[in-house]
Amino acid sequence: MFDLGKKITVITGAGSGIGKAIAELFAAQKATVYLLDLNADALEETKKILVSAGGHASAIRCNVADQDEVTGIFQKIVEQSGRVDILVNSAGIAHIGKLETTSAKDFDRVFNVNVKGVYNAMFAAIPYMKKQGGGVILNLASVAATLGLSDRFAYSMSKGAVLSMTLSVAKDYIGENIRCNCISPARVHTAFVDGFLKANYPGKEEEMFQKLSRTQPIGRMGKPAEIASLALYLCSDEAGFVTGCDYPIDGGFVRLNT
């Protein structure tokens, strides 16, 4: 089950965190993986891990906020591989602040990566998916898309847009055999979390880590590999009857955190 052999897969944000975990799992399931990220060094590290494990991977530095750049990259991928079967939009950035502490510059920065970046990748991929007779798109949203989180105004805005774009694309292209879903994680333990704690709570990293972990009713943060497992199902042929859905993967955060 969940064999991705011969599936040409593009993953944005593949240099770290959830995107990297998805890339590792998809490569292990025999997908041909194109890794996109702005951080070239992180990309090469991910590629090295995949190739050393016997996977097929290419690393392409990409600014997802630049539509011309994204479109050009997809054109080259199709010229090389003939098709794009799966697109996973994992690239994203965070921002801390409520409305009045979010500058226009910060708002635009989050929008350009988290919203326009997802739009750009789908805009580039869908024409090829239509031409080849179908494809799968998976977007990384967040519990912030549907819940009010303190001091996450711009981030919540962006993830709400990701959820809405997912539903719109799923509806508009269902007749083209293109499935589109999204995943909404709660807190996931990545290097970003460690960096955030170090920068904002020096000397209290462990205390704050435990505090943040307990906000999930299950008592801990998620693991990138757990998110990747759900992504694998949703992008596999076994999920052929699933489209237009948002999947919370949150340790009970949405339904049980009362």
34 is catalytic: no
Give the sign of the dihedral formed by CA 148, CA 248, CA 221, CA 160: negative
Instruction: Give me the pLDDT at residue 68, please.
Output: 98
Instruction: Give me the pLDDT at residue 195, please.
Output: 85
Domain ranges of the chain: 8-186+223-248, 188-221
Confirm whether pTM is higher than 0.85.
yes
Confidence of residue 83 (pLDDT cuts 50, 70, 90): very high
Count other C-beta atoms under 10 Å from residue 206's C-beta: 10
Instruction: Give me the pLDDT at residue 104, please.
Output: 98
Q: Where are the beta strands (DSSP E) in 7-106?
A: 8-12, 32-37, 56-61, 86-89
Catalytic residue among 119, 155, 173, 247: 155
Structural tokens at position 153: 């105004």
Instruction: Give me the pLDDT at residue 258, please.
Output: 59
Pairing relation of β-strands 86-89 and 56-61? unpaired
Across the chain, what does the average pLDDT equal? 96
Q: Does domain 8-186+223-248 have CATH number 3.40.50.720?
A: yes
Instruction: Give me the pLDDT at residue 192, please.
Output: 82
Query: Cβ(18)–Cβ(224) under 8 Å?
Result: yes
- Say yes or no to pLDDT of 36 above 90: yes
Instruction: Give me the pLDDT at residue 191, please.
Output: 86
Provide the 3-class DSSP secondary structure of residue 33.
Answer: strand
Query: Cβ(19)–Cβ(11) under 8 Å?
Result: yes
User: Pick from 196, 184, 138, 186: which is nearest to 159 by CA?
Assistant: 184
Q: What region, left, alpha or beta, does residue 227 occupy, with left being phi > 0 and alpha being psi -120 to 50 degrees?
A: alpha
Output 257 or 234, whichever has higher pLDDT. 234
Query: Per residue in 174-232, pLDDT tens?
Result: 999 999 999 999 999 998 888 888 888 899 999 999 999 998 999 999 999 999 999 99
Instruction: Give me the pLDDT at residue 197, please.
Output: 87
Instruction: Give me the pLDDT at residue 200, please.
Output: 80
